[in-house]
Amino acid sequence: MKGVILDDRGLHMAHADNVVTAIADLDAGMEIASEEATIELVEDVPFGHKIALTSIDPGDTIVKYGEPIGAAVESIEPGEWVHTHNCESARGRGDRSTDDGEVA
Amino acid sequence: MATFDGYPRPDGPAGVRNYVAVVPTSVAASAVAEAIADRATENVRATPHQMGIDPPKAAREQIERTLAGVGRNPNVGATLVVSLGPETIDADVIADEIAGTGRAVETLSIREAGGTAATVDTGVALARELWDGIANARREERDASELVFGVECGGSDTTSGIASNPAVGAACDRLVRDGGTASFSETPEFIGAEHILADRCVDDETREQLLARVERRESAAQLMGVDLRGAQPTPGNQDGGLTTIEEKSLGAIAKGGTTPVRGIVDYAESLPIGGGLVLMDTPGYDIESVVGKVAGGAQIVAFTTGRGSTTGNPLAPVIKVTGNPKTADRLASNMDLDASTIIDGESIDAVGERVYETLLEVASGARTAAEQRRLEEFAINELQPNELAERRGNA
């Protein structure tokens, strides 16, 4: 598999990623240690979902596979679940189109 | 060299199955086509669909290209085209295209045959005659370079990008190394990963075509003043951990492997033989997307799934690969390969080798889970009003 498995709990796909993927159903309070730091889960995170490794500000890019997958819409602390409630796509956003047809 | 045992065809690559196809020209003949296939013999397969009898020109051309492509697929030894009567989608036009392969083709009109019951009776007799004409075909050893391998993903979750897609991608790399063609599609699922595909294009022309097609799919959402999030990722994808279309796409493109992108073709357009990795511009709807590649000549398909999918195809075997351990367990009877071992540490390369071995076994006649259960979904992509308007504008 590409990436590094951390504590049999998280998969860190690429070095630049600021999230890890849960490879088991994880409970609040569990710890995941990376090279840089140890994070503690602030909430339950199901298999396949993402957890923040670092502090992320609103508007910051969420990185997985070493590539941008969207932007944070609120502050995200290490150990928080990262999903549609706090991360949005930057693509295919017709809802952001202005009246003259330009895309914001 | 890698080989498989296939049915030689006079005009091109060998088939991995030997079927009589019963192809309706419109929804008006779909039920009759199904009835004919049910009552004829074991190796007769219908391709019922929902297209109307009088579509606009560009839509009609896409439907005709798809239906003719289905009849020209190497897995089809002979074809019966069934229509309601004289229609905009012309049975004779489709039959002529198929006849160009040197394989047998017949047409049948419900109006001329005297109604549905009479058409089914006549159709069953015709389908049996067509079968008698190809029943003596025998498998011969053929080079893997004759294979056109369609890859598809559906019911994606996080494991698709981690396990099943990279494993199928490793099998694509092997087939391309051995001289064959691999193809993946679903252009909306290139969004956010198109820069990676663009970097892999063999020339500027291919790169420009690829980026233009992605832009067209993305701008369709913008024209309608909506965003993709209602549809991409789907609610099921989101339950499975996929947050954005970018994340889904980055996982999705892994199923095509790592070789250069040699071209991109239209929906149901012929895929080259011995062509390496070639993309097809299709919507993200799995059944239509698989049918587009089968109409383009794919004899065999791999379908990756995270949350579970059971779909098949009437004419091409569909190999199911999951990377989700729960799906591998719960839907074991609908899966052919478990790639979730990657999460436990088996290498992507080792699982890719298993996928490639399965590909050659299935090409040689081993039946997939979907074939054993006769799961044979078929649907044709219908061009939408905004797409038709754009094509008129370009004409």
Q: What does pLDDT average to over chain A?
A: 90
Q: Which residue of A47, A98, A99 to mutate against B (max B Cβ within 10 Å)?
A: A47
CATH, range B19-136 = 3.40.1400.10
In what helix (H) or strand (E) does residue B242 lie, and over which residues does it extend? Answer: none
Residues of B near A (CB-CB distance < 8 A)? 157-159, 161-163, 166, 188, 191-193, 196, 218, 221-229, 232, 238, 240-241, 243-247, 250-251, 306, 324, 326, 342-343, 345, 347-348
Query: Is any Cβ of chain B less than 8 angstroms from the Cβ of A104?
Result: no
Q: What does pLDDT average to over chain B?
A: 94
Q: How confident is the model at residue A99 (pLDDT cuts 50, 70, 90)?
A: very low
Amino acid at B137: A
Strand partners, B19: B76
Domain range summary for chain A, segments of one domain joined by +: 4-96
CA distances from A98 to A71, B221, B226, B342, B387 (A): 20, 13, 12, 45, 22
The predicted pLDDT at position A102 comes to 43
What percent of chain B clears pLDDT 70, i.e. is strictly above it? 96
In what helix (H) or strand (E) does residue B144 lie, and over which residues does it extend? Answer: none
Query: Is any Cβ of chain B less than 8 angstroms from the Cβ of A8?
Result: no
Angle value at C-alpha B102, between B21 and B137, nearest 5 degrees = 65
Q: Which of A87, A93, A95 sits opposite B243 (nearest CB)?
A: A87
- Tell me: pLDDT of B38 over 80: yes
Q: What does the DSSP 8-state code read for residue A25?
A: -
Q: What does the DSSP 8-state code read for residue B260?
A: -
**Cβ <8 Å between A94 and B227:** yes
Q: Which residue of B243, B253, B258 to mutate against A (max A Cβ within 10 Å)?
A: B243
pLDDT tens track for A12-68? 999 999 999 999 999 999 999 988 889 999 999 999 999 999 999 999 999 999 999
Distance from CA of B392 to the nearest CA of A (A): 21
- Tell me: pLDDT of B392 over 80: no
- Tell me: pLDDT of A101 over 50: no
The predicted pLDDT at position B394 comes to 52
pLDDT tens track for B284-312? 899 999 999 999 999 999 999 999 999 99
CB A24 within 8 A of CB A47: yes
Domain range summary for chain B, segments of one domain joined by +: 19-136, 143-372
Residues of B in contact with A25 (CB under 8 A): none
Angle value at C-alpha B240, between B224 and B362, nearest 5 degrees = 100
Residue B218: name the closest of A76, A91, A100 by CA.
A91
Is the ipTM here above 0.95? no
Residues of A in contact with B211 (CB under 8 A): none
Place of tokens 């047409």: B107
**Cβ <8 Å between A1 and B228:** no
Residue B146: name the closest of B247, B274, B266 by CA.
B274
Q: Which of A46, A70, A91 sits opposite B218 (nearest CB)?
A: A91
The predicted pLDDT at position A103 comes to 42
- Tell me: pLDDT of B259 over 50: yes
In what helix (H) or strand (E) does residue B273 lie, and over which residues does it extend? Answer: none
Fold of A4-96: 2.30.130
